[in-house]
A = this chain, B = another copy of it.
Amino acid sequence: MEYINGGVCAAKGFRAAGIYAGVKEGGDPSKKDLALILSDAECTAAAMYTTNRVKAAPIYVTMAHLEDECAWGVIANSGNANACAPNSHENAELMCEAAAKATGRSARDFVVCSTGVIGPELNVQAIVDAAPALSEALRADAEGSTAAAEAIMTTDTVKKEVAVQVELGGKVVTLGGIAKGSGMIHPNMGTMLCFLTSDCAISPDMLSAVLHEVVPRTFNRVTVDGDTSTNDTCAILCNGLAGNPLIEWKDSSYAAFKAALTQVLTHLSRAMAADGEGASRLITCTVHGSRSEEAAERLSKAIVASSLVKAAMFGADANWGRVLCAMGYSKAPFRPEHVDIKFASVAGELPVCEKGAQIPFDEDKAKEILSQNEVIIDVNVNEGDNYATCWGCDLTYDYVKINGDYRT
């Protein structure tokens, strides 16, 4: 398996575009806010959505459009979440109709997503007016993907794109994706927008199955702030143009495609955590030696979600007691007196706690290790063979700044 360029345009038969439509009043014309992804052939499609009881209208519209497990494209805007807003359902449908009209397809062929502030009515006229230019701007190369990736960004500081290739049944299959993250990010599906495209030939059942196997171990293990958004959507479109034998069973090709999807979503998960709102460093926490993967995941999530651990990481402070404290309230089974904790990074590795109690360590070395861009919290509960890794980021002044006045 290897990484290649091109994001959502890497797979055969996909084009993408991103332009400025003026979704947000007084928006910055240099910030694209409308994205389109279109396939040259009909796609098998699957999606996963936020578990939040309050779901934005585009989610319900997308659910309806994917009832037939088919799609041709995605239309998405930033600048407004179209959630809990007047005429939200109608406006989500109008977005799909605008995309359909501009591309010669039907409204039901589209996945639709919105991201931005909750509450205000969506300026759908700006989107309708921009749709023809958006369709004109479609490109099959890396620039198309990048434009779409930029158009869905909100408080993200870097675009998130990735693509990989694998060989399935003698054919090269490509899988690529773009995503946006930043705030309102917490394990429990979606936790962001992510659009994936592939030229793989795969049945609707197998596509849905593989998405539901991989998302819980990737996106659902990212936390930025514990707030699960109203709009989270992860959608995958596969047009079959790679010409591989159709994946209909959980065979070796399924396993290879699953590995590719895992690699793509792990990459995007790490990118989302590293670019969490205000983040200055990525925190990777692995809990191993657990009796079950579920327990390991729960412990690891509690650690990366703890405000006190996150603040300590911001300060490069080896306050491991907060790690053990977070494990304690996670409700997962473990014995505190068996726990070993290490901090690690490119600057080295440092055990700080053995059998649940502090061991002497060099504070200067700890500071050096914890000052790197990626910090690893490595916990062994010494009770079994299962493990899980979750990703998060530190809690910084900038998180408070960004969210203290997001609407204005």
Contacts and interface: CB of A to CB of B under 8 A. Distances in A.
A373 interface: no
B229 A325 contact: yes
Given A54-B324, A326-B227, A327-B54, A315 B118 contact: no
Contacts of A395: 400, 403
Given A357-B86, A358-B84, A53 B407 contact: no
A311 B399 contact: yes
**Range, interface on chain A:** 35 or more
A317 interface: yes
B118 A322 contact: yes
A169 B35 CA distance: 74
Given A119-B353, A321-B117, A326-B227, A403 B312 contact: yes
A54 B406 contact: no
A41 interface: no
A164 to B, nearest CB: 32
A402 B401 CA distance: 16
Copies per complex? 2
Interface string A314-354: 11011111101111111100101000000000000000010
Interface string A377-398: 0000000000000000001110
Given A52-B329, A357-B84, A322 B120 contact: no
Q: Output the residue of A119, A353, A397 with the most chain B CB within 10 A.
A: A119
A227 B308 contact: yes
Nearest to A184: B308
Contact of A81 (B84, B315, B321, B328): B321
A83 interface: yes
A368 to B, nearest CB: 15
B84 A228 contact: no
B325 A230 contact: yes
Contact of A311 (B84, B319, B322, B403): B403
**Shortest beta-carbon contacts, A-B, top 7:** A118-B321, A315-B404, A54-B328, A311-B403, A52-B328, A119-B358, A315-B405
